[in-house]
Amino acid sequence: MEKLSVEEIIGKIQNEECFEAVSEDYSFTLKIEKYVHYVCGAVHDGHQFRRELWEQCLHTEYDRWFEEDPCTKTFVQTHPIVIAGCDSRFEYDLNRGPEDAIYEDAWGKKLWKEKLSDLEHAKSLQKHSQFYRVVHALIEKLELKFKVVVVYDMHSYNWRRWDREVPVINLGTSNIDNDRFGTIVEHWRQSLSEMKLPYGTKTTSKINDTFQGNGYFLKYITNNFKNTLVLATEFKKIYCDELEAIIFPEVVKAIEVDLRERIPAHAEAFYLAHRNAL
C-alpha cells in the first residue's frame, strides 16, 4: 500500500492505473486491483479519532465504537475496488453532507465539552471534502468506461435498541430510481436472504424496514451520476456483541467469504440488465 495525496490518487484513477493507497492524511483507503463496473464502499468502518479532540469529546471510545460500523470493510476486502473511511464518524460523518457532517450531539448525548474552533471544524471538513473528490473521480471514470455502475454501500446497525424483530440485512432504497432499478434491487434482497451464516442463523432481508437509505454517500453519487446505482446494505450486528464490544471473527469471515461470490454475481446481473438500456 502506498501513501498518496488526493491529487496523486485522482491522477492514477484518470490514467486508469491499478493501486492500493491510503490518503496522505490517513483518512481513507482506496484499492483498485482492476477497473470493473462495481465498487464496494465502507464509509463508517473507521475508528480513528484525532488526538486534539480527545479531551473535548464527552463520548467514550466505546460510545463511538458502538455507533460505528466495524468490519464492514473486511466484509468486502477481496473485491477489486474498495473505498473505506479510516476516521470515526464522530470526528466527521462521511455519510452526512458537509453542512451537518460534524455532530453537535450524537444519539441524544452532547458530543463536545465546548464548541469546536473554526480551525478544528475546518480540519475535519477538509477530509470530508477530499474523500468526495476521490469518489467523484472514481465513479466518473467507471461510468465513462462501463456506462453503468453499481456501488455496494456497506453498513451495520445495532439491533438491541429495537423493540421488535428486525432483519439481518436491510436495504435502503428511498433515494434511488426504483422504477428503473427496482427489479435488480429485489434481486439483491433475494440473494442476500440466501446467505448461509454460522449457528443456523436465518438470514432475513427486507427493504426500508429499519433504514431507508438516506445517507449522503448514496445521495451524492445518485445526484451526480445518473447511471450509477447505490445499494445501501445494512447488516444487523450479529457479527459482534455490541454491548461487550467483542467481535465474532468466525461470523465476519463467513459474511466475507459468502460475499466473494454473491457480489460479483449480482454486479454481473446488473450490468447485463442495464448496459444496453442507455
Give the pLDDT mean for 43-52: 95
Domains and CATH numbers, the chain: 2-274 (3.40.630.40)
Give the pLDDT mean for 132-161: 96
SS3 call for 32:
strand
Give residue 108's pLDDT.
Answer: 82
pLDDT digits (tens, 9 = 90+) for 73-114: 999 999 999 999 999 999 999 999 999 999 988 888 888 998
113: burial class by Cβ within 10 Å (0-12, 13-18, 19+)? exposed
CB 36 within 8 A of CB 145: no
- Please give the Cα distance from 10 to 135 (Å, whole number): 9
Give residue 221's pLDDT.
Answer: 98
pLDDT value at 152 more than 70:
yes
- Please give the Cα distance from 57 to 10 (Å, whole number): 33
pLDDT digits (tens, 9 = 90+) for 185-201: 999 999 999 999 998 88
Lowest mean per-residue pLDDT among 15-29, 97-111, 259-273: 97-111
pLDDT digits (tens, 9 = 90+) for 200-234: 889 999 999 999 999 999 999 999 999 999 999 99
The region that residue 199 occupies, defined by phi over 0 for left and psi between -120 and 50 for alpha, beta otherwise, is left
Averaged pLDDT score across all residues of the chain: 95
pLDDT digits (tens, 9 = 90+) for 235-265: 999 999 999 999 999 999 999 999 999 999 9
Distances (CA, A) of 262 to 170, 193, 258: 16, 11, 6
Distances (CA, A) of 161 to 47, 94, 207: 21, 23, 19
Give residue 23's pLDDT.
Answer: 98
Give residue 278's pLDDT.
Answer: 66
Give the pLDDT mean for 150-155: 98
Confidence tier at 267 by pLDDT (50, 70, 90): very high
